[in-house]
Amino acid sequence: MSLLDFRRSPQEEEKVQALSVARVGADKRGTRRIWLEGRKLARAGFVPAARYQLSVDHDSRTVELRLAANGERLVSRKARGEEELPVIDLANGQVLQSFEGLETVKVRFENGAVIITPTATDLRRLERAARLRSRLDGQQPLHVGSVSTGLGVLARAMHEGLQAAGLDSELLFSVEIESTYVEQCAKANPVWGSKTIAVEAPMQEIAFDAAALLALPKVEVLEAGLPCVGASLAGRAKKSLAKAEDDPKAGHLVAGFLAIAAAVNPAVILIENVPAYMNTASFSILSNQLTEWGYDVQSTILRGADYGCLEHRDRMALVAVTHGVEFDIQSLVADRGEPQLLGSVLEDVPDDSPLWSPMAYLRDKEDRDIAAGKGFRMQVYGPDAPSVAVLGRGYAKVRSTEPKLQHPTDPALLRQLTPAEHARVKGISEKMIEGLGITAAHEMLGQSILPKPFRALARHLGDALQAWQAGVGVPKAAPRAIAIDQPAPRIKPVRELAPLPLFA
């Protein structure tokens, strides 16, 4: 099935004369009012003095005007120079009751009919708010979708944070291009359940395939970690990009994400990325489009150091909540917890292990960088270090500026962190990388978030949703312990991946 299958039939196309968005105003007494005039009316047959019948369907929020010889209403006229234009002035509180709270409506002009409905934006806003309230009132798990899932660390942090706020959740779908990531999530991520639809495909392919979008269920929460190589200065320099959007692989993905978001219509959207993403055109497009769709959009930088994380990794968090839910991202309070040292997460590696190495080529490179006046330095840590620098996606490549461990007795020897240590430094459960090779494990961990700050943010969001349900004001976050030692309970035993129909 393609997008063309969803077009109107030729008969329907012939009926439509025009489409417009009209403002819902008010008269001097404050009564709701919709004013229609001009050639669009005339083309539909509503000429001055024509009679029509008005009907209202409050269930579908539709007001319909149809030409009728014996109609009770009359099209008015307005002089503009020597020309007379048709005018219809709908100023009746009962008639326009369905549009209460709306600023605009969609008007469809057909042969002999004018049909007035809420705009698609308002219909989506009303639908997601009603769906969210229904699930909260019924104490049902919130449905969650994930885009660019990766290892699923954000998906798990979202689940655990909502759970800490007293809200259950279910991951209904995951969109991820890499098959190894999809398989690892299904095997080792506890939030992946029997209901989770695996979408192993580029998001931009799914986003503009109507059949695929129809297969994705509506969700209350949508989270994403959009690819961000071109957002950082280093990434742009490496790829010789003038701006992040020039990246042929990832620069356009904001369009695909927005298409998916429009289709699944979540009440809450959480997007994480590098801090520099806030300076991109993609960030502006996201913020402005989501605002246009009726979301309140806020953003902040979540710093690992503020939450007592060993890895000092900073990530941007963009949160969009449907209009009406009061949420203040700036009131999120970071809980540092008990301080820890690097030694508390290190494995017992023997002093004579082959993991220890002189790494002479890296030391030589450092000497050359110093001689050339470059700022690159090796990052060497001992067990008493209170923090480490960022461990990136390519950590397995043994690069000079990423963390190395100093041998306890021989100052000439260094080693890399093991995958298990890498996971512990980030606060990620080691079970999530079980069965992976060293390179794959470091790659998946290196592009993952720190769970602790995002668990706190998800808990804060959960508090706001419950405050909205109860009809009280925006909650102020307070430090609260969130269990991180115990894995989140599985929703259901994992079954074989369920492909979308287009992949069958």
- Quick one: how far is CA 244 from the chain centroid? 19
Tell me what percent of the residues of the chain surpass a pLDDT of 90. Answer: 76
In the predicted structure, residue 13 carries a pLDDT above the cut 60: no
Query: Which strand (E) or helix (H) includes residue 302?
Result: strand 295-303
CA neighbor of 147 nearest in space, from 291, 250, 55, 284: 250
Distance in angstroms (rounded) separating the CA atoms of residues 126 and 118: 10
Determine the residue type at 478. Answer: A
Query: Which strand (E) or helix (H) includes residue 340?
Result: none
Phi, psi of 426, rounded to the nearest 5 degrees: -85, -15
Give residue 489's pLDDT band: very low, low, confident or very high (50, 70, 90). Answer: very low
**Mean pLDDT computed over every residue of the chain:** 90
In the predicted model, what is the mean pLDDT of residues 376-391? 95
Global model pTM greater than 0.85: yes
Alpha-carbon separation of residue 218 from 110, 119, 170, 267, 275 (angstroms): 31, 19, 12, 10, 29
User: Is residue 127 within 8 Å of residue 265, measured between CB atoms?
Assistant: yes
Burial class (CB in 10 A: 0-12, 13-18, 19+), 100: exposed
Q: Give the pLDDT confidence of 279-330 residue by residue, as tens digits.
A: 999 999 999 999 999 999 999 999 999 999 999 999 999 999 999 999 999 9
Q: Give the pLDDT confidence of 472-487 residue by residue, as tens digits.
A: 765 555 444 444 334 3
- The domains located in the chain, with CATH, are 3-118 (no CATH), 124-338+447-487 (3.40.50.150), 342-446 (3.90.120.10)
Q: Give the pLDDT confidence of 22-79 residue by residue, as tens digits.
A: 999 988 888 889 999 999 999 999 999 999 999 999 999 999 999 999 999 999 999 8
In the predicted structure, residue 9 carries a pLDDT above the cut 70: no
User: Is residue 234 within 8 Å of residue 186, measured between CB atoms?
Assistant: no
- Quick one: how far is CA 55 from the chain centroid? 40
In the predicted model, what is the mean pLDDT of residues 205-222? 96
- Tally of CB atoms within 10 A around 71: 15
